[in-house]
Amino acid sequence: MNDLNDSAQPDVARDDLAADGSILAYAPEFDDFENVTVAEPFHSYAEPLPCEEPLSGLEGLNAAAFGLNLVAASSVSGGIAKPNNVREDWMNRYDGVRSLRIQDCILPGTHNSASDKEAKRAPSNETCQDVSPLKQLRAGIRVLDLRVQFYAGYPANDPRRFSIFHQGNSGRTVRDDILGGLAHFRSTPGFNTSREMVILDFHEFKGFNKAAHLELAKLIKGSVGVERLVTPSMATMTIGQIWSKGPANTVIAYNSGERDSSFWSGVNQRWIGSNTPTDNALRDFIAAVGREKKGATELKAVQAAKYALPGFVPNDKSDKLMTWFASGEGKPILNHYIINTDWSLRQRLVDNCIHGNSLRGRSIRY
């Protein structure tokens, strides 16, 4: 049983039960996501077509003052720092990633992506993001860290069968908040988000059996579209080469042996192993991860997150992160790949990643 002690009760989240024991009706986050028209890729900027030489210089990229890239509190609104660069379609807009393989990019991620302040249920000691997964994507995040709980007690096709959890259930679902949010992101007006490479990292599974894995895989493929999946066979291709082949734009990383053949292995999340390390210990761990070797096709993330005492709540380390992952002096960000943090948009880590990819794209030749 999941979240319930009484074996006579259905296998559903406790908060979804009415006083008489019946299951409450589901209130979707998006009423129309299944009818969203996902734009086809289009070339909209004055830059080389896929597979051509990268841009010379940093055209269009605000690279000034990269480094600490600190943000005044007055520049943060709704949990999102005022950006230096356009973030909605930064992969398509700026050079860098087109000449890199997906697993070699520096990608901004969110730790426990669906444990956010806008979720229906967000206990304070689990809430570690300010805005929904959709808003995270529109603000430049490209990797979502997901932990999924299967509830067999909901009827077929109820989105709550695959709910997001950390320790508790946030009220967000894979179908509506993650896949639906991705569909809405792909249709963001005025931006070429169809060329943005997004990684959905299904990292942990609770209450699953083989049938549940098959059901989730069917849901994912049906929503994203098989033609839009970046499969493991594309790991040797640069993003520019993938763009030139078709509409593929989504990586499903799946940390289970019950993985569909079109999904990648789970992201190797490098965590310090302690919830409350000192700032210096976390700094040293991040630096050590940056010195590790990465497999050629491995998706690798550093978990730059910690809890604060008293209260045991996710700690906002925005000021430290801009030093640990600076793209200016010393360029420590170039030692990393996926960077998962708490409160990920309160600083300009996304902008540092944009700049870092531009630098890496000029230094790597396959």
Q: Is residue 197 one of the residues assigned to a domain?
A: yes
Average pLDDT score over residue span 273-298:
93
Give the tens place of pLDDT for each residue, 64-107. Answer: 434 444 444 446 678 888 878 889 999 999 988 999 999 999 99
The residue among 364, 363, 342, 318 whose CA lies nearest residue 141 is 342
Q: Is residue 3 one of the residues assigned to a domain?
A: no
Q: Is residue 5 one of the residues assigned to a domain?
A: no
Here the CATH number for the domain that contains residue 302 is 3.20.20.190
Is the pTM higher than 0.85? The answer reads yes
Residue 259 has pLDDT above 50, yes or no: yes
Task: Give CA separation, 327 vs 76, 154, 172, 187, 350, in Å.
Answer: 21, 47, 34, 30, 11
Written in H, E and C, the secondary structure of the chain is: CCCCCCCCCCCCCHHHECCCCCECCCCCCCCCHHHCCCCCCCCCCCCCCCCCCCCCCCCCCCCCCCCCCCCCHHHEECCEECCCCCCCCHHHHCCCHHHCEHHHCCEEEECCCCCECCCCCCCCCCCCECCCHHHHHHCCCCEEEEEEEECCCCCCCCHHHEEEECCCEEEEEHHHHHHHHHHHHHCCCCCCHHHCCEEEEEEEEECCCHHHHHHHHHHHHHHHCHHHECCHHHCCCEHHHHHHHCCCCEEEEECCCCCCCCCEECCEEECCCCCCCCHHHHHHHHHHHHHCCCCCCCCEEEEECCEECCCCEECCCHHHHHHHCCCCCCCHHHHCCEEEECCCCCCCHHHHHHHHHHHHHCCCCC
Q: Is residue 1 one of the residues assigned to a domain?
A: no
How many domains does the structure of the chain reveal?
1
Give the tens place of pLDDT for each residue, 27-54. Answer: 886 655 555 554 444 444 434 333 333 3
Residue 158 has pLDDT above 90, yes or no: yes
> Alpha-carbon torsion 137, 143, 147, 153, what sign?
positive
Rounded-to-integer distance, Cα 2 and Cα 162, Å: 12
Residue 263's domain comprises 14-361
pLDDT of residue 80: 83
Residue 183 has pLDDT above 60, yes or no: yes
Percent of the chain whose pLDDT exceeds 90:
61
Q: Is residue 4 one of the residues assigned to a domain?
A: no
Q: Is residue 32 one of the residues assigned to a domain?
A: yes
pLDDT of residue 1: 44
Least-confidence region, from 14-28, 38-52, 195-209, 232-246 = 38-52
Q: Is residue 7 one of the residues assigned to a domain?
A: no
Q: Is residue 9 one of the residues assigned to a domain?
A: no
